[in-house]
């Protein structure tokens, strides 16, 4: 099973600040890494697919990068509505797995 390790677990950020979340895979997964946003009491929403492809309708301040084992989700100029937990997800190999999540709080 491929283990995804996200860091940090928690981040408190002021509006307009830049946020960087990392996801490290226990073995190479190419670009088969996706990012989701989950707000309280809501289902997850796809932000970035295949490491760097923005999903339709996602604001341009969200971007992704990386390949192999190291990946990054960047939120440029954080907005209040971005308060949420962010998860990475690998679809290289079954069983599919998720990272433990990064909670982003607005100061």
Partner 1 sequence: QVQLVESGGGVVQPGRSLRLSCAASGFTFSSSALHWVRQAPGKGLEWVAVISYDGFNKYYADSVRGRFTLSRDNSKNALYLQMNSLRTEDTAVYYCATGGGNYYNAFHIWGQGTMVTVSS
Among 17, 45, 67, 72, binds partner 1 (CB under 8 A): 45
Q: In this structure, are residues 73 and 35 in contact, taking their beta carbons and an 8 Å threshold?
A: yes
Closest CB to partner 1 among residues 17, 52: 52
Sequence-distant (≥ 6) Cβ neighbours of residue 97 within 8 angstroms: 1, 2, 3, 4, 89, 90
101 touches partner 1 (CB under 8 A)? yes
Which segment (16-24, 61-69, 76-84, 98-106) binds partner 1 by CB under 8 A?
98-106
**Sign (positive/negative) of CA torsion 55, 87, 4, 94?**
negative
Which segment (12-20, 28-36, 64-72, 76-84) binds partner 1 by CB under 8 A?
28-36
The CB-of-43 to partner 1 minimum distance in angstroms stands at 4
Kind of pairing, strands 102-106 and 10-13?
A: parallel
């Amino acid at each position: 099973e491929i283990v995804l390790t996200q860091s940090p677990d928690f981040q408190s950020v002021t509006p307009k600040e830049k946020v960087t979340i990392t996801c490290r895979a226990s073995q190479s997964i190419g670009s088969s890494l996706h990012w989701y946003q989950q707000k309280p009491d809501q289902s997850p929403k796809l932000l970035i697919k295949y490491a760097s492809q923005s999903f339709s309708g996602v604001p341009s301040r969200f971007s992704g990068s990386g390949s192999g084992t190291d990946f990054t989700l960047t939120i440029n100029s954080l907005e209040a509505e971005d308060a949420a937990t962010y998860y990475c997800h690998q679809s290289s190999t079954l069983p599919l797995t998720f990272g433990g999540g990064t909670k982003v709080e607005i100061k």
